[in-house]
């Protein structure tokens, strides 16, 4: 029979009182320091508290105390998954399944590992295996919904989500999945209804929070179409996504070449070039710009998270600088004003993408890259104001090169996942 501390820890864990549950399980270990299950549960709690080193140690102890305990391997798999060490996580979960293939939790975490790596077919297969064990497991059902939607099977994904609501009507993630499905269809009003319900059930649900923000911004017709395009891109493989992006850039370069040889087609070519540039800049920063406007909305301001506010304010300032700089250059004929205006526009590329990068070195790299661009443009201003015009113009070239490099760098950094230590 389990001691009272262990039983109390289970109740506290169920109610998500993690620190109190940790204390209870540590007290239980004083009575039975070699209990594998207790060490495993402690590992799960420490991972949720983001104490990665302690969580890993607890999971390793759980396995050493009982190598045949599948829950101990599950605990290590969960910790490795939370740390973004997907290969180690999959190894542990496969070991847990080899010891016990009748526990749907193991297949849920396996599906989650594949989902975080955007291996949607594998995630679907794992989620379906979990549902074969328990057809009413909402975790597996929600991951199946996500995997189907990401593979472009929107109708089946919605059917799975609606079926999930029948046995789990109070599950916030299911409502959030229905909301994202509605956004994929371009129905931002229905999406908002689902996200609001998800947040009523679980106020700190991140998926619902980000979805609600997108549904509010989707009131803007242009952003709604851009969002649908971006969500559609998300259903493609990485190679296909890069193919489309490179294809659009190649079309832009072709337009530039045609314009030089066939000036009579200037109207069509300028339209294609403007369309590409508008798409490029809006895909990087339009979301953050709409966040900026939401800061002045009586209710929309609450949807902008604390993490996104600095970026929104910076993007608002950069676009203001773009308009003022280019406008001043046009009306006064002073070229440096125009240069500064275009510099502000170029800085929206890395600035608008900072929050899309994982915390850690990808985000720090992009911040450092942006800082270098700021230093160059600051040098341009100082050189121009002090009469060193030739030096000022020499700084324009590296800034332009960095802008081109930044357009590639931001897409790559946004796809990088950082190991948590």
The whole-model pTM stands at 0.75
The span from the CA of 212 to the CA of 182, in Å, is 12
Give the pLDDT means over successive 10-residue stretches in the chain (421 positions): 84 91 93 93 94 94 96 96 93 96 95 92 96 95 94 91 93 93 89 92 88 84 74 63 62 67 67 62 71 78 80 90 88 85 85 78 84 87 84 81 74 62 52
pLDDT at 356: 76
pLDDT at 248: 61
Q: Is the dihedral of CA 254, 223, 309, 51 positive or negative?
A: negative
The span from the CA of 86 to the CA of 115, in Å, is 11
DSSP per-residue codes, 35-70: -HHHHHHHHHHHHHTT-HHHHHHHHHHHHHH-TT-H
**Nearest 10 degrees: Cα torsion 21, 27, 33, 39:** 10
Residue identified by tokens 């689902």 is 194
Q: Give me 312's structure tokens.
A: 């929104």
pLDDT at 395: 85
Cα separation of the two ends of the chain = 36
pLDDT at 342: 84
Q: How open is the CA angle 76-90-29, to the nearest 5 degrees?
A: 10
pLDDT at 139: 94
Count of alpha carbons within 13 Å of 269, Cβ hemisphere only?
14
pLDDT at 172: 93
The span from the CA of 217 to the CA of 340, in Å, is 29
The boundaries of every CATH 1.25.40.10 domain in the chain are: 1-100
Whether residue 57 contacts residue 75, with contact meaning beta carbons closer than 8 Å, is answered with no
Quick one: 1-100 is in which CATH superfamily? Tetratricopeptide repeat domain (1.25.40.10)
The span from the CA of 367 to the CA of 363, in Å, is 6
pLDDT at 97: 97
pLDDT at 420: 53
């Amino acid at each position: 029979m389990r001691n009272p501390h262990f039983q109390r820890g289970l109740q506290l864990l169920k109610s998500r009182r993690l620190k109190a549950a940790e204390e209870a399980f540590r007290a239980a270990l004083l009575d039975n320091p070699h209990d594998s299950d207790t060490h495993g549960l402690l590992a799960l709690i420490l991972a949720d508290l983001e104490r990665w080193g302690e969580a890993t140690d607890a999971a390793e102890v759980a396995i050493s105390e009982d190598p045949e305990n599948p829950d101990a391997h599950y605990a290590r798999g969960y910790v490795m998954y939370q740390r973004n060490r997907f290969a180690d996580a999959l190894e542990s979960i496969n070991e847990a399944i080899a010891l016990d293939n009748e526990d749907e939790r193991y297949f849920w975490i396996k599906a989650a590992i594949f989902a975080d790596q955007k291996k949607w077919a594998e995630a679907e297969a794992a989620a379906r295996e979990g549902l074969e064990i328990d057809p009413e497991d909402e975790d597996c059902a929600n991951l199946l919904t996500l995997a189907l939607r990401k593979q472009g099977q929107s109708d089946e994904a919605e059917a799975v989500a609606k079926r999930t609501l029948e046995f789990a009507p109070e599950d916030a993630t299911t409502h959030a999945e229905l909301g994202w499905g509605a956004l994929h269809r371009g129905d931002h009003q229905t999406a908002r209804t689902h996200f609001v319900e998800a947040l009523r059930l679980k106020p700190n649900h991140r998926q619902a929070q980000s979805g609600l923000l997108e549904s509010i911004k989707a009131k803007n017709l242009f952003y709604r179409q851009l969002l649908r395009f971006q969500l559609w891109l998300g259903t493609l493989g990485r190679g296909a996504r890069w193919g489309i992006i490179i294809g659009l850039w190649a079309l832009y370069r072709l337009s530039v070449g045609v314009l030089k040889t066939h000036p009579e087609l200037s109207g069509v070519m300028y339209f294609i070039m403007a369309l590409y540039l508008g798409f490029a800049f809006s895909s990087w920063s339009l979301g953050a710009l709409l966040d900026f406007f939401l800061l002045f909305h009586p209710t929309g301001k609450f949807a902008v998270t604390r993490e996104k506010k600095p970026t929104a304010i910076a993007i608002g300032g950069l676009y203001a600088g773009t308009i003022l700089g280019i406008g001043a250059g046009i009306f006064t004929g002073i070229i440096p004003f125009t240069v500064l205006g275009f510099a502000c526009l170029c800085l929206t590329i890395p600035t608008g993408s900072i929050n899309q990068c994982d915390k850690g070195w990808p985000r720090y790299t992009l911040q450092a890259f942006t800082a270098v661009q700021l230093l160059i443009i600051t040098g341009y201003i100082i050189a121009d104001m002090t009469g060193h015009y030739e030096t000022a113009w020499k700084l324009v070239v590296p800034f332009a090169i960095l802008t081109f490099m930044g357009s590639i760098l931001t897409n790559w950094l946004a796809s990088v996942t950082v190991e948590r230590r």
